[in-house]
Structure 1
């Protein structure tokens, strides 16, 4: 897809009625829930990582969970900052913001991941849609690959299939439960040992680095203009 058609796509009317957003969220959540049961792979230093099989795929889906002492706005501010991505996202070399549609809270980013030898580096064009529940204040950021939006990069393997989400759930004690869930088809040829290690290392090391970054002073008072806090 050329730049003109991409621009037309991102500028198309996209304010979806709240009911449609709610139905979309419920449908997506139901689709996640119907898959096979989760198997706990690691529970260390307050971060739990689980995996499960996905029908029709040789690659498992992963889920990482932790609690943090930050506001919803601070966490979203970090997730919405592409320049900070390489500081905490495991194997991330760079993230470039391609397009933003502020009305629909949708962004498109180009991500380059550097993988260890003998694997080749991967790149990914990802769409991110954010919604917040007016009842529970939960924030859901749904991500999916849109590989055709940008030309392929020489020397990189373009990831064709990816579905992921970030769910931020406020707790009664003031903490926020962070859930990072993803199923990624990396493409190309990867050794089994590397794929298996990435299923645990990616969520664990990403969440660990994220928690450390969120502990810095700049994120203690950080907010986000599109997020409503439970105590506001």
Structure 2
């Protein structure tokens, strides 16, 4: 899973310890801004993507209509980057997905509250932050705010996404010679990124899956080597 959102407008508070500080900053940003795009790549345990009986393989990318670049808070440099990558904010406003309908269908999809499904992100704090906010719409039907503390937030993440969550940004701390962002890690592992659309959530979610499967093959040979890192969201590690 990957998301695109309007950037970061609130910065850190040095008076808090790191994980709580990171959560406070993430919460402040997510609470006041709107999700732009979600990408999901579904696969079986062997990395095979669905074909639906065709010669194609499928991933999902949802553009939402809620965000209005003309009046909603955003970081201008983040919006400029998304525009350079082909994001059409006017089209999203006119033809994008309704966020409440998306939340309803996600809850009915079987993907959530299901401990048989593994969720994989890269530097996923904001991904889970925005998704928890979106899914909370389903229950509150008002503009929800994230919980005031990190512990309660992680409980909501576990409720919606189950017990098996992997953040590849956390995992690469245990992989020699791997560092940096998604593009850097992907290139170091030998993947060809020339044809993909960086900063498009669908494309990025596919790369996250490929990177996860490759580092699992190279660095996490025993099942329990990987399992001990479940439930850790990079930057929000509970000490």
TM-score by length of 2: 0.30
> Per residue, is there more helix in 1 or in 2?
2
Q: Which has the higher contact order (CA 8 A, sep 6+)?
A: 2
Higher strand share: 1
